[in-house]
Amino acid sequence: MMENRLFRVVGIRPLPQRPPERKRKWYSGKPIFSIVFLIVIFTGCMTCEWFMTKDPAYLDLYNCSVPPGREFLFGTDTMGRDIFSMIWYGGRASLFIGIFSTLLSTGIAVCFGAFSGCAPAWLDELLMRFVEIMISVPGLLIIILIQAVLGPASVASISFVIGITGWTSMAKVIRTEVRQIRGNEHVIAARCMGGGFFHILWKHLAPNFLPSIMFMAVMNIRSAIAAESTLSFMGIGLPLEVISWGSMLSLSEKALSARAWWIILIPGVFLTATLLCITELGNCLRRCGIKRENNLS
Amino acid sequence: MKKLMLFVFSIFLLSVIVFYVSRLAPGDPLISYFGDRVEKMSPEERQWAEEKLGLNDPIHVQYVRWLNNALHGDFGISYKYKMDAAEVIRSRLGNTLILGGTGFVLIFVFSLLLGILCAWREDGWMDRVICKLGTIISCIPEFWLALVLILVFALRLSWLPSSGAYSIGKNGDLWDRIVHLILPLSVVVISHLWYYAYMVRNRILEEVRADYVLLARSKGLNKRSVMFRHCLRNAIPSYLSIMAISVPHVLGGTYIVEMVFSYPGIGTLSYESARYKDYNLLMLLCILSGILVILCSMAAQLINERIDPRIRSGDVSADREVNKT
């Protein structure tokens, strides 16, 4: 820094030492660890039949709440099921719920947001009020109510419920973006040439707002998985027989009284690690803004 | 005036939706009123009971009757507690307000401090460590964090009680209540803290990159006074409006925490009422939370308008929108 006794130079700083192009590795700045971890989890869950040591659904009543050991790698739960096998097998349900409900909510959000963004002002106002009302009811209550209408919970119904309650904030973002670009020349030109709503949406609007919702979509996967586990934990999500990370944790009340820490800690660590890696991935997607220099230093 | 109309209309619509959906959902409200005796009831007795609770009319007749009573200040009785629904809520509301209110204040203060600290030392080791730690903590599901804390502090170390709001018979003991509050409160604060702190950090960093900072620095102001006099002053209004919107969010977080710690508050109450079809209680709870949410978002909008009068003249609901035409 150029320093002087009376004055101090601000706003000028030496150029950062940037490593030369060829020395920068292809993976710099990318969350390699998270991606690898997610791939391991994903393939592990998909191919779990090949290496599971026990049948995850088998109730081994002689071996209830056995601490982790050689036979049961991660121990058994209070019903005598092998936790190691359950984690891989149950991961399927959790990942499926995350992905499917995100697809559903993103689809709804894109259609709703784009429609509201293109609609005349009064309809737009009405639709946005509707979204605000949707947001204002506690999500938990909506989920409980819809779940009650749909009947006993299954993996498909849970992901449906989470999907149709999780689209509101994304729809708002899409609507704002669409309102900004709908007056652009290329959209008007496309409309003049007779392009239909979905054609314009897909060809002209979506490429513009996709980058900004990619991050939200990835975060939606995370919140869907978290929501499933919370619901199952409270006993309104998946029942005990359907194995997922959340339903494994719903035994925790019994585990607390039996002081069986492995029943609570091990599935939770897997769950949290997966959520963390998804978050890292999302943050990486978001981090493509313009970098401006800090004027304060 | 228009806002008031909108407010009333939103609440009305909300009540209709909740009323219809909750009654259409399968499940027997009589169970929550009579408990297990329902199974032994003869059809005549059932009919008599339904008649008495007014459950056998068509739904719209029920709704009009409910609305009429509600406008006269009578929200019906809770089937489970056999008391006025308003009375049941009033007895629990204090507990939730203590938990949620204290939590909210703590989140507000700590996230501001943490955000400033991180922004002050941007990209320093402390910023990096706090950011990493914060990301990890914000990923932990609330209920699991609560379970782990119970496991460690209540079972393993047995320092703190694991459930309830006070020990039996020690209703008025202040110290006892505080001890019971520590674990739930820390879960509420920890699980929400980083989200807002990160927001403050990014907001300040955005502000630090503005040109007026360069001007102030070249004028000779030192780093601290630029940060606290200028940057922070510009960043705080948007933080306030975000915090106003987040009130229901934090409150929703306390619901789950209350359930895990079986803390007698609104959260456990609304879970029970939705689960066991305690219609009147459920309606009142939904409407109360709806009112809270709408009030908070209105407050946020008001704050924004006060600060930035441009918003009022433009599109009301869009805060970031630039008018391009």
Q: Using alpha carbons only, what angle is made at residue A243 by residues A241 and A249, rounded to the nearest 5 degrees?
A: 100
Hey, are the CB atoms on A236 and B147 less than 8 Å from each other?
Answer: no
The reply to whether B2 touches chain A by the CB within 8 Å rule is: no
**What was the pLDDT predicted at A294?**
58
Q: Inform me whether the pLDDT recorded for A137 exceeds 70.
A: no
**What was the pLDDT predicted at A106?**
92
Residues of chain A positioned with their CB less than 8 A from the CB of B122? 294
Which residue from A132, A230, A256 is facing B256, i.e. has the nearest CB? Answer: A230
Q: Inform me whether the pLDDT recorded for B179 exceeds 60.
A: yes
User: Between residues 208 and 237 of chain B, which touch chain A (CB distance below 8 Å)?
Assistant: 208-211, 213-214, 217-218, 223, 226-227, 231
The continuous run of DSSP H or E covering A202 comes out as none
CA distance A292 to chain B (A): 6
Residues of chain A positioned with their CB less than 8 A from the CB of B324? 180, 183-184
Residues of chain A positioned with their CB less than 8 A from the CB of B294? 132, 136
User: Of the ranges A136-140, A239-243, A277-281, which one carries the lowest mean pLDDT score?
Assistant: A136-140
Q: Inform me whether the pLDDT recorded for A126 exceeds 80.
A: yes
Tens digit of each residue's pLDDT (9 = 90 or more) over A205-248: 887 777 778 888 888 898 889 888 888 887 777 877 788 888 88
The reply to whether A257 touches chain B by the CB within 8 Å rule is: no
Tens digit of each residue's pLDDT (9 = 90 or more) over B79-120: 777 777 777 788 788 888 888 888 889 998 999 999 888 888
Q: Inform me whether the pLDDT recorded for A67 exceeds 70.
A: yes
Amino acid at position B166, single letter: Y
Q: For residue A236, which phi and psi values (nearest 5 degrees)?
A: -115, 0
**Cα separations in angstroms, A281 against A31, A170, A222, A267, A286:** 7, 18, 11, 21, 9
Q: What is the mean pLDDT of residues A245-263?
A: 80
Question: How big is chain B by its Cα radius of gyration, in Å?
Answer: 25
Q: What is the mean pLDDT of chain B?
A: 77
Q: For residue A76, which phi and psi values (nearest 5 degrees)?
A: -125, 160
The continuous run of DSSP H or E covering B83 comes out as strand B83-84
Hey, are the CB atoms on A141 and B274 less than 8 Å from each other?
Answer: yes
Q: What is the mean pLDDT of residues A135-161?
A: 75
The complex scores an ipTM of: 0.78
Hey, are the CB atoms on B139 and A276 less than 8 Å from each other?
Answer: yes
Question: Nearest Cα to A162, choosing from A214, A212, A215, A93?
Answer: A93
**What was the pLDDT predicted at A108?**
92
Proportion of chain B above pLDDT 70, given as a percent: 82
CB distance B309 to B268 below 8 Å: no
CA distance B218 to chain A (A): 6
Residues of chain A positioned with their CB less than 8 A from the CB of B22? 145
User: Of the ranges A48-62, B172-186, B310-324, which one carries the lowest mean pLDDT score?
Assistant: B310-324
Work out the widest C-alpha separation in chain A, in whole angstroms. 82
Half-sphere exposure of A81 (CA within 13 A, CB side): 23
d(CA A16, CA A18): 6
d(CA B207, CA A295): 9
Hey, are the CB atoms on B26 and A151 less than 8 Å from each other?
Answer: yes
**What was the pLDDT predicted at B314?**
46
Residues of chain B positioned with their CB less than 8 A from the CB of A279? 135, 138-139
CA distance B10 to chain A (A): 7
